[in-house]
Structure 1
């Protein structure tokens, strides 16, 4: 039975909870109205009925760390692990003593809004998506009964870098292909592979000779190279494991390349060239033509942008990139799709004029 009473100008609700045969009080104060206090007590009572009241109702930062260590850390690359450490630190700073069952949708939205004042939207999305994944786990395990992250929106007051800086225009891409094709450097070969496949640096560095199929003109992306650990790792996600089709003419050139003993792209150290090395090589080519300066990862965006500009279906582009969901592709290349939408609108209106 819930007890609802007034303390000064605020209302307090108290509910008896049976924990391992012992009844304990769960109390919450600070409600503006009696109806708010009653609503909270009903929610707690419902949790009791469904036996969902916090068998794991610990401090959210501690629970997040436990979830990460068991379910995430063994599967992630070093770079991805950094995001979880950022979130752990954020939770301890903002909610040092807050239990997971005490967090509301409004609490999480306020956290996102505050963090968004000093961080770009892509960073906010990372924070929201990872915490949302953790919250879904907590719901599935009956630690909480409601997904407080479901209706939270991302917010950022800080402008992202100009997306035009992240990929080459078609004429710049054509010049780059022409220049790089005349080089036998391993880093140049990696640049070409990125242009034609759209693969990440870690995926290209993780290729071995056996991953090349010169009969079907494909590469098999089934692992990645983790430079910090100097060993093979799983790909970023399950959907990152994929077969990528490549042009037959390009594969004829690739067949003439000299592959390393362990890695397809192997430097004098016996390891793949570093990300820094391929970025330096790429920069030399771009500066030579006064082209836009992008990073090696920008070749992945260039690959996708080029295909979309040629009216390749976004569903296929998404699969080719190894995205887990086409919505990731849609959000990443929304600026390009908006340009195409404007062009399609003009075409549509021209057609309708003929009715």
Structure 2
């Protein structure tokens, strides 16, 4: 960065060149109010250093409400519609009404602290408060060019959320459920969710070209998600935009699952040959009789009916994912493998989510070590 001193009336100002915008137009930041030229000259190198270190930022003078609109617009292009709706709702209902009036370069750490305190006063749950905290901190972290200080959250900690008890089935419940599930026509998406730990949208968006039946490998590359707007093609769409970068993953399949998939594929091809051109060939593993995708409400009906028929306790579809992870960990599978199968962004997420199993795993490890050492002593 370079800068110079300019006299304006009886005062001196520091002008620092901070680069050019996307159109090639030069951008400058002004620091005014110096009585003497020597004072400005002395301050110039300090300000350049602070700008380069990010301690002060080159800003565009807009309101925080306008900035949030810009941030939401960028997010809309980079996340799934469901995630965007989540961001938008919290931003419009809480963040913008409370902080929107301030100029971005006038927002202070005490404004953030006061805002977060107000959420508690409104009686919002700790989980909701934490969602808002994450959205706001993410928005501010991306707003340096608009004058938002990166240290605005230095005095405000993230709300602590009581650990939510996850639901899952044990081995006996899984067996009872599967006995009833295999009587259902559309058993495959539910079975795959349980045996692979895939999310519902990932299972419903799975294509045959994402499965190598010979190598027993499944690649998660697509999902079925809700659309932003309802149109003539329905409320859902297939997309290759997944929840997080680590959601793109490969999962190794067992021989029994491969055998079931081969039989399922053969039956699907027979249905396709019966109606030929009327078959909507999306190459989906889990499809209706006409080749279209199965919607979440429809597969949920199968899921709830199977729970009722099998007599197992009622859990959510997402809890099939928890069941998958829990059974693997109880079998002694390394948490890193579980993380990779689930597509968690870090192993810490896996450990935090399934910490209920750690005491049992510790006990099992202690017993195994004890048996090993005692055996050697004998």
Give the TM-score taking structure 1 as reference length.
Answer: 0.75
Measured after TM superposition, the shift of residue 281 of structure 1 is 1.3
| Structure-2 residue corresponding to 1:33 | none
Return the alpha-carbon distance in structure 2 between the equivalents of residues 298 and 237 of structure 1. Answer: 19
Distance change in 2, residues 1:47/1:303 (3 Å): farther
Deviation string 1:290-311 (CA, Å, 9 cap, x unpaired) is 3221121111111112212222
2:139 to 124, 134, 139: 134
Equivalent pair of 1:116/1:155 in contact (CA under 8 Å)? no
Return the alpha-carbon distance in structure 2 between the equivalents of residues 239 and 277 of structure 1. Answer: 28
Distance change in 2, residues 1:95/1:213 (3 Å): same
Return the alpha-carbon distance in structure 2 between the equivalents of residues 306 and 178 of structure 1. Answer: 18
| Structure-2 residue corresponding to 1:231 | 237
Equivalent pair of 1:202/1:224 in contact (CA under 8 Å)? yes
Return the alpha-carbon distance in structure 2 between the equivalents of residues 151 and 310 of structure 1. Answer: 43
Deviates more, 1:307-316 or 1:193-202: 307-316
Distance change in 2, residues 1:48/1:61 (3 Å): farther
Matched, 1:326 2:312: no
Deviation string 1:184-219 (CA, Å, 9 cap, x unpaired) is x12x11100000111111111111121121111121
Return the alpha-carbon distance in structure 2 between the equivalents of residues 215 and 113 of structure 1. Answer: 57
Matched, 1:123 2:128: yes
Distance change in 2, residues 1:313/1:124 (3 Å): farther
1:88 to 69, 74, 91: 91
SS of structure 1 residue aligned to 2:143: helix
Return the alpha-carbon distance in structure 1 between the equivalents of residues 110 and 29 of structure 2. Answer: 34
Moved over 6 A (4+): 348-351
| Structure-1 residue corresponding to 2:39 | none
Deviation string 1:167-196 (CA, Å, 9 cap, x unpaired) is 22332122212322343x12x111000001
Paired residues, number: 317
Equivalent pair of 2:247/2:343 in contact (CA under 8 Å)? yes
Return the alpha-carbon distance in structure 2 between the equivalents of residues 341 and 99 of structure 1. Answer: 53
Matched, 1:66 2:87: no
Distance change in 2, residues 1:244/1:75 (3 Å): same
Return the alpha-carbon distance in structure 2 between the equivalents of residues 106 and 340 of structure 1. Answer: 44
What does 1:308-327 correspond to in 2, within 5 Å?
308-327=329-348
1:245 to 252, 268, 293: 252
Measured after TM superposition, the shift of residue 347 of structure 1 is 5.3
SS of structure 2 residue aligned to 1:232: strand
Measured after TM superposition, the shift of residue 282 of structure 1 is 1.3
Deviation string 1:225-284 (CA, Å, 9 cap, x unpaired) is 124353222111221111111111111111100347312211246422221222221112
| Structure-1 residue corresponding to 2:194 | 195
Unpaired stretches in structure 2, ≥5 consecutive residues:
1-12, 17-27, 34-44, 228-234, 273-280
SS of structure 2 residue aligned to 1:243: strand
Distance change in 2, residues 1:292/1:193 (3 Å): same
Return the alpha-carbon distance in structure 1 between the equivalents of residues 192 and 79 of structure 2. Answer: 24
Q: Which has the larger radius of gyration?
A: 2
SS of structure 2 residue aligned to 1:173: helix
Equivalent pair of 1:60/1:100 in contact (CA under 8 Å)? yes
Measured after TM superposition, the shift of residue 100 of structure 1 is 3.3
Return the alpha-carbon distance in structure 2 between the equivalents of residues 175 and 209 of structure 1. Answer: 29
Deviates more, 1:208-217 or 1:282-291: 282-291
Give the TM-score taking structure 2 as reference length.
Answer: 0.71
Measured after TM superposition, the shift of residue 74 of structure 1 is 1.5
Matched, 1:77 2:80: yes
| Structure-1 residue corresponding to 2:151 | 147
Equivalent pair of 2:180/2:309 in contact (CA under 8 Å)? no
Deviation string 1:137-196 (CA, Å, 9 cap, x unpaired) is 224x47344332366433268x67x624x322332122212322343x12x111000001
Deviation string 1:38-71 (CA, Å, 9 cap, x unpaired) is xxxxxxx96676344442353223212212212x
Equivalent pair of 1:194/1:204 in contact (CA under 8 Å)? yes
| Structure-2 residue corresponding to 1:284 | 305
Equivalent pair of 2:82/2:226 in contact (CA under 8 Å)? no
